[in-house]
Structure 1
Amino acid sequence: MAHCSNEGIKEVEEWFQKLPNAKEKVTKLHFFFHDRFAGEQNLTAVRVARASVTDTSATQFGLVSIMDDPLTEGFEPTSKEIGRAQGLYAFSGRDEMSMLMAMNLVFTTGDFNGSTLTILARNPAGPPYRELPIIGGSGVFRLARGVALAQMHEFNLVTTGYAIVEYDVVVIHY
């Protein structure tokens, strides 16, 4: 898997010199995020820190997890993987379940192979759709900005420890 640029400083500087003449592009992406945070096997998210109040909190306040979750073309976990969501989420709502999400969407196939999009957002658990800002990117998505609309399809905290989230992304880049 390629996760970084093959370009050195000279190529990047040349890219920036051409930037005043470049046209912005709008790219739309659709995929599914699979988070396995509990159970014995195939974990894709692990708890790395918790506050003293986390175990008694209805909102898991103070829990921090690191993730490396598959992104797939379809809803089924066995559908074609197009990348990984790598980063962290921290349960940051004391009175309502919400998370701070800091993640890179790392594309590993197709036209976007080796490129990333970066999301830094508040992700509340209540609304059916969550709007997460895209604050940057690399590779094809250099200087990206945009929005990811996330819709929870499956979330089972108790028995499976599994979540499936559908993402519709609109990103502006050069």
Structure 2
Amino acid sequence: MAPHSAVLLSLLALALAAPLGVLAADTHLHFFLHDQVSGSNPTAVQIIKGPGSASNALGGMAFGDTTVIDDALTEDPSATSAAVGRAQGYYMMSSQSGAVLMVCVNLLLTAGDYNGSTLAVIGRDDIMATTRELSVVGGTGKFRMATGYVMWRTNSSSGPDVTVELDVYVAALNGSSTIAADAPVSPIDGGGGAGTGGGSSGKSSSGAAALLPYGWANAVVAAVLVALAGCVW
């Protein structure tokens, strides 16, 4: 095989992979999670009690303790501000030597352009740290095949009840949709940069790229490069 033919085949392989990166649309979401343990209608309920000794740093939680949640997500730190979704899943005390949780939660969005879409979040929550980073490992709807991360900060606490500020940064692939840069702003459509503590008043922090059906793009690029390769063989 001639050297230039090998080069063309290499370009073909790169071209087939490239659209997956080109079609990524970056989105920044900002909202607050309210973990309500106390009261007559808690949104966080312990379902497993571990055998370990209690940790004062987590209000009496011990290693192995597991709590299921259906926490409210709101636009602002106040629990009575506009609702934008629910955080549904669980967290457990996963360290024998510190106040560390393993968090596994689906962020169900219920307002604005992302109504009905979800983000799957999992990670290590060292609650004594100012900022914790958790992973976005998937999603549905407009966030199908999403990847990214969440900057997770404790905003306030009252006894066992905690309000957490979330800055979510995701890239998603959707072969049939476009997230328009001039779309109407929704409470979960960005704004309130990391650590500001403010509400969501702006659009997605990085805008968005049109998402085109990548199957046709792959086919066209492949056909052109194969034709070129055939001419020089």
TM-score scaled by length of structure 2? 0.61
Alignment of 1:72 onto 2:95: no
The structure with the largest alpha-carbon Rg is 2
Aligned partners of 1:90 and 1:105: how far apart in 2?
A: 17
Q: Partner amino acid for 1:32?
A: F
1:115 shift after superposition: 0.4
TM-score scaled by length of structure 1? 0.81
Structure 2 residue aligned with 1:113: 115
Where in structure 1 are there 5+ consecutive unaligned residues?
1-18
1:71 shift after superposition: 0.3
Identity over aligned pairs, percent: 36
Alignment of 1:35 onto 2:35: yes
- Secondary structure class of the residue paired with 1:62: coil
Aligned partners of 2:158 and 2:74: how far apart in 1?
A: 19
1:52 shift after superposition: 2.1
- Secondary structure class of the residue paired with 2:98: coil
1:57 shift after superposition: 4.2
1:125 shift after superposition: 1.2
Structure 1 residue aligned with 2:167: 168
Q: Partner amino acid for 1:108?
A: T
Identify which of 73, 92, 95 aligns with 1:93.
95
User: Runs of 4 or more off by more than 3 Å in structure 1?
Assistant: 19-22, 56-59
Aligned partners of 1:51 and 1:21: how far apart in 2?
A: 44
- Secondary structure class of the residue paired with 2:92: strand
CA distance change for structure 1 residues 123 and 21 in 2, over 3 Å: closer, same or farther? closer
Identify which of 128, 153, 167 aligns with 1:126.
128
CA distance change for structure 1 residues 44 and 21 in 2, over 3 Å: closer, same or farther? closer
Aligned partners of 1:116 and 1:22: how far apart in 2?
A: 22
Which whole-Å deviations, capped at 9, do the CAs of 1:29-69 have from their partners, x for residues lacking one?
0000000012x322000000012225x44462111000000
Structure 1 residue aligned with 2:48: 49
- Secondary structure class of the residue paired with 2:32: strand
Q: Is the CA contact 2:126–2:132 (under 8 Å) kept in the aligned structure 1?
A: yes
Tell me which protein shows more strand as a share of its residues. Answer: 1
Structure 1 residue aligned with 2:86: 84
Aligned partners of 2:32 and 2:128: how far apart in 1?
A: 19
- Secondary structure class of the residue paired with 2:142: helix
Tell me which protein shows more helix as a share of its residues. Answer: 2
Structure 1 residue aligned with 2:204: none
Aligned length: 151
Structure 1 residue aligned with 2:154: 152
Say which is worse superposed, 69-78 or 57-66, in terms of deviation: 57-66
Aligned partners of 1:110 and 1:126: how far apart in 2?
A: 33
Alignment of 1:25 onto 2:25: yes
